[in-house]
Amino acid sequence: MSIVNDIVGKIVDGVLKEILAKGGLGTRKRATRRKRRTTGTTRKTAAERLSAIEKLLRPATRQNSRRKSTRVRSKAQRSRVSTKTQRHKRTLRRGATSGRRSR
């Protein structure tokens, strides 16, 4: 029986020393909340970390223009756009006056 008591006593002493050695972390709710916040809510796996690092190392690519090219437009739409731009140029040449002609 004394052997069992010695083993249990050593285990209890070891656990108590570990708890005291950690220090700075209280057992109150506030302390546990603070501790949880620092560890982060989402834990990343090694593969996720590696992919994030690789993404940072890759050179940045330029974003393609989202403006429609003339090939994308239909024939009717092309003619509408061209007449609109011609009208706009005409009004700019006149000095940005109103579109109506004066009598």
- Average pLDDT over the chain, rounded to an integer: 76
The yes-or-no verdict on residue 103 having pLDDT over 50 is no
What is the average pLDDT across 52-75? 81
* Cβ neighbourhood burial of 37 (10 Å; 0-12, 13-18, 19+): exposed
Q: Are 78 and 70 in contact (CB under 8 A)?
A: yes
Q: What is the mean pLDDT of residues 30-44?
A: 60
Q: Does residue 69 form part of some domain?
A: no
Q: Is the pLDDT of residue 46 over 60?
A: yes
82 domain-assigned = no
Domain containing 12: what range?
A: 1-39
What is this structure's pTM? 0.24
Q: Report CA 81 to chain centroid distance, whole Å.
A: 38
User: How many structural domains is the chain composed of?
Assistant: 1
**CB of 31 closer than 8 Å to CB of 25:** yes
83 confidence band (pLDDT: 50, 70, 90): very high
Q: Per-residue b/e over 73-94, b at no fewer than 16 CB within 10 Å?
A: eeeeeeeeeeeeeeeeeeeeee
